[in-house]
Structure 1
Amino acid sequence: MFKQKIIAFSPILVLVVTFLFSLTFVPSIHPTPKNLPIAIVNADKGVVLPNQTKLKMGETIMNNIKNNSNAKSNEEPSIHWIEVANEKLVESGLDNQEYYAAFIIPSDFSQKQATLQTNHPSSPTIEIMLNQGMNYTAANLAGQMLNGVAENINQNVRDEVLRGYEKAGISLTPQQVSSLITPIKTKVINVNKTGTHSANGNAPVSLFQPVWMASLIGAVLIFTAWNKTSFSNRKEKFYARIMQVIIGILLSIIVGFGLTWFADGMLGLDIPLKTDTALFITITYFSFFCMISALLAWIGFAGVPITALTLFFGAPLLAMAPEFMPAFYKDWIYPWIPMRFMVDGLRELFFFDKGLNWNHAVAVLTGIGSVSLIVMLASVIKPTRKKKEEKVSVADVEMT
């Protein structure tokens, strides 16, 4: 046994496989955000102080944020600030998944801040909007970063007000002391909420693996039956491919509605648009089924490891925001994994209440399914390997 070459090469093969599959964990080892898109609105109108100077605290905050963002020009910043004109446009951008969060300075910010040095202080409020449905983890981290920004503003305002009182030699009243503990209030608003029965916002990712594996098993079973069937001409092959497509459609409907019912009724996931979700999973399954079937039709069972590698490399990325991925995975792996379009489509259905429509995810999945269907049907022109005929020896003939 030890004389066989496979034994000698086994340590190398084991190391290669270990290294290859270890790469699937690289994106999740130390995820750090880069250029996380966050909207910022400066609606502050300013205020004219008793000495006739105009206080525009919102403008000051904006300038400080820009200066801090450009402080390390040689490194990509954690936050990519996007200035937006008003709160209505911000809400539209959040619904269209353009921002993970928003930082809003209200119109009366300077006016209320000016009262902090009076006998009747009124703390201004900054609004932080977190887009949970876009990515639960990214939105929460954005919230932590924005709370840090608000705390820095708090510290600066507190120091400025105290310097003003000290310079004027004024003693603070209990009400003024209380207002200076937290001079700037922070109001956090969760939009496109993930709810309490969504696996912490990962319900779309949780449903991906059953659909992908069911697509693989369905395609492999039908391909196995195909290999065991003899065809006399290409016309018979073509009709068999049509039957394969019909079976694929039936399987898609069964998986689409069956998985939706099971996830909602048995697993307890909160699926607000059940029929739309079932139809979308049906489209997704058929797309994956056609893609895997086309691969098997042209290269045979060698296509199975390819689908397995796609699963292993793609699955860890689906729950991550692209801004958290290493550059290699973001630019070369993530754009090419087809299952991300299923997750994107389910996010819209689960958290954005948009219903099933001709969006980007549906268009791409339909395109993948259509091209794969054509490639699969075209496989009937592929030359068939003739089985080696058994040679009958003269001795066998004599024995008969």
Structure 2
Amino acid sequence: MTLLKEKMVLLAPFVVLLVILIFSLTLIPSVHPEPKNLPIAIVNEDQGAELLGRGKLNRGAEIALNIKKETSGEDAAVKWIDVKNEKSARNGLNDRTYYAALIIPKDFSQKQSSLQTAHPAGAKVKILINQGANTIAANAAGQMLNQLVEHINQQVREQLLTTLEKRGAALSAEQASLLAAPIEKDIENVNKISANSANGNAPVSLVQPLWMASIAGALLIFAKVRKLRFFKRTEALFSRLLQGLIGAVLAAICGYGLVWIAGEWVGMNIPQFHETALFIALCYFSFYLMIAAVTAWVGLSGAGIFGILFFFGTPLLTLAPEMMSAFYRDWVYSWLPMRFASEGLRDLLFFDKGLDMNQPVTVLLAIGTVSFLLLLAAALKPQAVSKEAEEKISF
């Protein structure tokens, strides 16, 4: 019965509840994500049409204006961005500026106006879905655009029937056949995700073992360095330098090892083997140096920070920033080092971009450089040379 009198036993239920509360918070961002100001490009290339007695009509411009009026606002799900032509929209999709695009073609008004004639022709709009940008956001954008076109179709049907009724004209067979869908949708998925890409979450799937391997490697070497006793600061400095060099070797092993395992064993589609392996090696080296620098200054307790980042950060990597709450987007996601690894992998896996000095690479290099300098500076701490060593030197 003495066990029941121990304080830790009495505190155990509260500790368990606290742990449950803390780690339950990691579920909040992904439980019910709602888009807010999701950037979607809208392109109006409509050249208009001359209508008898009504002058020139540009239905594309009217639709674009109405769309922005009805679905815009500070808390709107979509942020419409006017783009001058389809080529510019595609460039924006490739740069991950937009999650989708709505293209209104040149002959839109002409075909729309023909619905009231004896020889009607159905109008078309093009919907581009940027699959590789983010699966959840791209699907949400696609659904919203589909619903939008259906809403426009309903308006066109009502207008056509009202006009014919006023004229006292009957609906022809050709008009009736087009009435079900006066505006057709030509849907195209760009920057497609392959069948073997974890439903578009391949970057996140690779970041998880990469991050944990970085922690494991950094802590293993830290444990060995901590046991060493240095007689000179040059010895301590050399050990820190060697610690960094070991990290470079581990980075190469992680980069090529992880890509080979993911491709050959798991079956993940990795179109650029060497570029992806080198990028993962860079990620590992930057993360390794960051963890090594923190533990060198703070000690083993500093490793807990990176464990917490893993649990709180990983769920966010599957979401687009526009689908997060302001708190998670501004105070958690924006500070996550692993998000740059995920974004860089997304460019390599889905956007057919090579390994260059883009934002993820630049940020990772900056993290690695600062971390390496801090790691070397740890050799200058008073504790870097043991007291026994100092006494021997002074003696």
Counterpart code for 2:96: Q
**Cα deviation 1:155-174 (Å, max 9, x = unaligned):** 01111111111111112222
- Aligned-residue CA RMSD in angstroms? 1.5
**Cα deviation 1:100-157 (Å, max 9, x = unaligned):** 0001111100000111112221100011101111111111110000011101110011
Helix, strand or coil at the partner of 2:271: coil
Measure, in 1, the Cα distance between the counterparts of 2:166 and 2:363: 65
Measure, in 2, the Cα distance between the counterparts of 1:213 and 1:315: 11
Name the structure 2 match of 1:276. 275
Helix, strand or coil at the partner of 2:63: helix
Name the structure 2 match of 1:215. 214
Helix, strand or coil at the partner of 2:383: coil
**1:51 CA displacement:** 2.5
Stretches of structure 1 that go unaligned for 5 or more consecutive residues are 389-400
Name the structure 2 match of 1:224. 223
Give the TM-score, by structure 2 length. 0.94
Stretches of structure 2 that go unaligned for 5 or more consecutive residues are 389-395
Runs of 4+ in 1 over 4 A off after TM superposition: 385-388
Name the structure 2 match of 1:15. 17
Counterpart code for 1:304: A
**1:387 CA displacement:** 8.1
Give the TM-score, by structure 1 length. 0.93
Name the structure 1 match of 2:176. 177
Equivalent pairs: percent with the same residue? 51
Measure, in 2, the Cα distance between the counterparts of 1:138 and 1:9: 43
User: Within 5 A, what are the aligned runs for 1:138-177?
Assistant: 138-177=137-176
User: Within 5 A, what are the aligned runs for 1:251-400?
Assistant: 251-384=250-383
**Cα deviation 1:172-202 (Å, max 9, x = unaligned):** 2222110111111011111111121111111
- Answering whether residue 217 of structure 2 is matched by residue 234 of structure 1, we say no
Measure, in 2, the Cα distance between the counterparts of 1:13 and 1:381: 39
Measure, in 2, the Cα distance between the counterparts of 1:267 and 1:163: 59
Name the structure 1 match of 2:65. 63
User: Within 5 A, what are the aligned runs for 1:86-105?
Assistant: 86-105=85-104
Measure, in 1, the Cα distance between the counterparts of 2:266 and 2:13: 43
Aligned positions, number: 385
Name the structure 2 match of 1:249. 248
Counterpart code for 1:160: Q
Counterpart code for 1:26: I
Counterpart code for 2:8: I
Measure, in 2, the Cα distance between the counterparts of 1:14 and 1:318: 27
Name the structure 2 match of 1:4. 6
Q: In terms of mean alpha carbon deviation, does 52-61 or 30-39 score higher?
A: 52-61
Name the structure 2 match of 1:398. none
Helix, strand or coil at the partner of 2:103: strand
**1:306 CA displacement:** 1.1
Measure, in 2, the Cα distance between the counterparts of 1:219 and 1:194: 33
Counterpart code for 1:285: Y
Name the structure 2 match of 1:391. none
Measure, in 1, the Cα distance between the counterparts of 2:90 and 2:26: 36
Q: In terms of mean alpha carbon deviation, does 311-320 or 191-200 score higher?
A: 191-200
Helix, strand or coil at the partner of 2:76: coil
Measure, in 1, the Cα distance between the counterparts of 2:357 and 2:316: 25
Name the structure 2 match of 1:24. 26
Measure, in 2, the Cα distance between the counterparts of 1:52 and 1:27: 52
Q: In terms of mean alpha carbon deviation, does 321-330 or 170-179 score higher?
A: 170-179
**1:19 CA displacement:** 1.2
**1:52 CA displacement:** 4.7
Helix, strand or coil at the partner of 1:129: strand
Measure, in 2, the Cα distance between the counterparts of 1:114 and 1:227: 79
Helix, strand or coil at the partner of 2:81: strand
Name the structure 1 match of 2:56. 54
Measure, in 2, the Cα distance between the counterparts of 1:281 and 1:382: 32
**1:383 CA displacement:** 2.2
Q: In terms of mean alpha carbon deviation, does 14-23 or 184-193 score higher?
A: 14-23
Counterpart code for 1:147: N
Counterpart code for 1:47: A
Measure, in 2, the Cα distance between the counterparts of 1:366 and 1:50: 64
Measure, in 1, the Cα distance between the counterparts of 2:135 and 2:29: 17
Helix, strand or coil at the partner of 1:384: helix
